[in-house]
Amino acid sequence: MPLFRISVVDGEAKLHKSSAPLSPALRQGLASDGPVMILIHGYKFDPSQTVKDPHAHIFGYAPKGNFKAVSWPSHLGYGRGDAQEGLCIAFGWPASGWFWDVYEEAARASRALADLVRQIRVIAPGRPVHILAHSLGARVGLGALPLLAPGDISRAVLLGGCEYTSRAEAALDQGAGRSVEVLNITSRENDVFELMFERLVRPGRLRDRGIGMGLRTPRARWVDIQIDHPETRRLLFALGLPIADGRHRFCHWSTYNRRGVMRFYAECLRHPRTLRLETLAERLPPQQPRFSRLLTLPDLPALLPSGLKRPS
């Protein structure tokens, strides 16, 4: 059972479209070896609505839809029959509606996520538990950290996260936040969407900003990775993890649908000792200025379909 579907119903994590109790199913799913990866979607998905169900979209093995329909489980190495695959938990929560209402709903989903992780820890206390979260899903993941004990979450990969730096920093100072390693995946393609987030949601403090530009104060276990920076692509190419160049001036989904990025995340979560945060932090370039991608002149060859070639 490599793929485990969860839906948050009335603030509680339950099996998707099932009345069976969660704990026995979890115990069965955790019987195999390998890491536990919890996938958390962002805004507009809702497992209770068929047309917005993430389990039939990015959480499915063969999703149908537009360019945003990329199978997260498949790209992370699940569904291949490998005994070491581990358990993939697709965590669906009600994220449709007015943005500011969903932002508050994310905090409630954090509590359901924390309860789920605690159950995993009781059943399999030695298993590494990782998080991969996009957009408002990053708020869900970060919000669960203070509710858990140090060591409960090993790594969190946040993709174009919708959260303020002050709240992210507060989460890192409590509970599981004191030990978790965070790879904060950013992109200048997401700048327009982050600005919209900052205009819709009240900040946590004066001059606060979203995590898309990185934390204001460096943290030992937090690394900001601008995935569309040419220097980042050169570094990952040298590590055997090529990533395609971008064709968009703005895109909220490029942190997971750009060719090659999901393989990078799979390596980060499956082989954390190989891709150490300290090594990445030493070699990664600083974040480029906000809107720098919009203000530069277009590179005409980049407008054409491109493959995973060596960055120029």
- pLDDT tens sequence across 54-113: 999 999 998 876 667 899 999 999 988 787 899 999 999 999 999 999 999 999 999 999
pLDDT at 101: 96
CB 223 within 8 A of CB 282: no
Q: What's the number of CA atoms in the CB half-sphere (13 Å) around residue 280?
A: 27
Confidence class for position 291, pLDDT limits 50, 70, 90: confident
pLDDT at 300: 44
Indicate whether 302 pLDDT > 60: no
CA-CA distance, 227 to 244, in Å (whole number)?
Answer: 10
| DSSP of 218-282 | --TTEEEEETT-HHHHHHHHHTT---PPP--SS-SSHHHHSTTHHHHHHHHHH-TTTS-HHHHHH
Indicate whether 297 pLDDT > 60: no
Indicate whether 247 pLDDT > 80: no
pLDDT at 304: 39
CA-CA distance, 143 to 105, in Å (whole number)?
Answer: 11
Which token pair is 96? 């449709």
Average pLDDT, the chain: 91
Q: What pTM value is reported for the model?
A: 0.93
